[in-house]
Structure 1
Amino acid sequence: MAQSEARNRMVAGAADMLRRRGLNATSVRELAKHSGAPLGSTYHYFPGGKAQLAAEAVRFADAVTVRKLAGELSAGPVAGLRAFVDMWRKVVLDSDFRAGCPVLAVSVEDQSDEDDEPRRAAAEAFDRWTGLLTDSLRAHGATEDAARQTATLIVASIEGTVAMCRAQRSIDALDKTAAALESVVRAVTDSAGD
């Protein structure tokens, strides 16, 4: 197996562990085992240890989300919202309510100031998602302020709702939130026909 393939597998495995267990409940040993990599390889590819691997896992999750959003936002903000919701619905249902968002998981856990690379990566991910949504909303008629507020509302609402779905073991909250957000998007844009 190529070195980059092994490293990528470790990053994807770490993202999966983070979305299921969070940062503080996951050790480097468990991350290595989950990805099928020897512990020594983990430290070879990630000399910064758990913080570096977690930050890379967050960037991986960010890139997946950006690809999904960017692909659908070209059809408009309603399509982008639906894709964002569908992506999280699939994560929650496919994991039988055991997994959420690794970006959120890293964001809400205590981290030392010297190892805050995962938190900074999470902040960058949320900024990127909000930025993509803001741009699409503006391109479809929303004012600058309305676009920024609505994009923030979308990301915050969906991230929080995913946590609710996991706790309630039901997708109902996500469906209700998606419907309400779609109404907001239509109200601030000229997307009545989407």
Structure 2
Amino acid sequence: MARTANPENRDRIVRTTRDLIRRNGIQGTTMLEVVKASGGSRGSLYHYFPGGRAEMVEDAVRSAIDEYTAGIEYLATLPAAQAIPLMVEFWRAEAEASDYAAGCPIAAAALGGASDPVPSRLAGEAFAGWIDAFARMLVNEGIPADRARALGTLAIAAVEGAVILGLAQKSSTPMELVADQLVALVDAAQ
């Protein structure tokens, strides 16, 4: 009798890999850790990811990018004064829920660099798309395109940096300060 693949098992492995990347980075996420944390078997990993660890990590990064990009695209439909605090609140809640142990898997992928070039490239593309989304939002609020792009870049860089500072300091204060300052900058640019 032929065994059929269970997509729920694969999804669980992808979610587990994403969480481990958020906590340990790309280089610190091993197949053995994924097996332990997901409750799966080593054989199931190779069944769902015949390309091994590289394929598993890439799928986890792509999954995170898809989810977070959908959120950013939604936020970009709102006024900046509403969107920026919501984005920061998401990361504050995520950081607090993990007791300041888990950050953005896209930032972790970006840091994979030479040892994991595909996730790093995917992260760069995702960040560029997020900047574009924020720039469109700001242009819709009357900010000139070149200034909107610069502010969009600043917003994504500042929020990602604030998350990292928050994790290091085990505090939401950097995220809250960045949200306030970004809203003030956008208000001043209008």
TM-score over 0.5 for the alignment?
A: yes
Q: How far is 1:165 from its partner? A: 0.7
Contact 1:69/1:83 (<8 A) preserved: no
Q: With structure 2 as the length reference, what TM-score do the two structures score?
A: 0.91
In structure 2, C-alpha distance between the alignment counterparts of 1:22 and 1:158, rounded to whole Å = 18
Q: How far is 1:188 from its partner? A: 2.5
Unaligned runs of 5+ in 2: none
Contact 1:52/1:118 (<8 A) preserved: no
Give secondary structure in 2 for the equivalent of 1:165.
helix
Q: Deviations over 1:23-65 (max 9, x none)?
A: 1112111122222221111122222222222222122222222
Q: How far is 1:2 from its partner? A: 6.0
Contact 2:22/2:102 (<8 A) preserved: yes
Aligned counterpart for 1:31 among listed residues 31, 34, 44: 34
Q: How far is 1:72 from its partner? A: 3.0
Give the CA RMSD over aligned residues. 1.7
| Aligned equivalent of 2:133 | 132
Q: What is the identity percentage for the equivalent residue pairs of Structure 1 and Structure 2?
A: 35
Residues 77-92 of structure 1 mapped to structure 2, 5 A cutoff: 77-92=80-95
Q: Deviations over 1:48-92 (max 9, x none)?
A: 222222222122222222222222332222222122111110110
| Aligned equivalent of 1:64 | 67
2:166 is the alignment partner of 1:187: no
Unaligned runs of 5+ in 1: 190-194
Runs of 4+ in 1 over 6 A off after TM superposition: none
2:156 is the alignment partner of 1:155: yes
Counterpart AA for 2:80: P
Task: Count the aligned residue pairs.
Answer: 187
In structure 2, C-alpha distance between the alignment counterparts of 1:109 and 1:58, rounded to whole Å = 11
Counterpart AA for 1:55: E
Give secondary structure in 2 for the equivalent of 1:111.
helix
Aligned counterpart for 1:11 among listed residues 10, 14, 18: 14
